[in-house]
């Protein structure tokens, strides 16, 4: 699974994309409200791990996420 953090502009907030190994979009959520999107894709139990990684990575860089 891969994760990328996208910087928002003006009124558009920052977003995070989670993609599988084929780069298919799994989840797309705002950095301040990840719970609902992660629950929908079945990753609610991994929320804390994902948010830790989100806080560590720079904007615009895709990173491999090992859960």
Q: What would the DSSP string read from start to end of 20-58?
A: -TT--EEEEEETT--HHHHHHTT-GGGHHHHHHHHHHSP
Share of the chain above pLDDT 90, in %: 52
Per-residue pLDDT band for 23 (boundaries 50, 70, 90) equals very high
pTM: 0.82
């Amino acid at each position: 699974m891969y994760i990328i953090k996208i910087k928002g502009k003006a009124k558009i907030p920052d977003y995070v994309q989670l993609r599988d190994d084929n780069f298919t979009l799994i989840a797309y959520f705002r950095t301040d409200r990840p719970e609902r999107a992660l629950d929908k894709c079945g990753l609610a139990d991994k929320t804390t791990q994902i948010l830790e990684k989100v806080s560590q990575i720079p904007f615009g860089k895709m990173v491999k996420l090992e859960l």
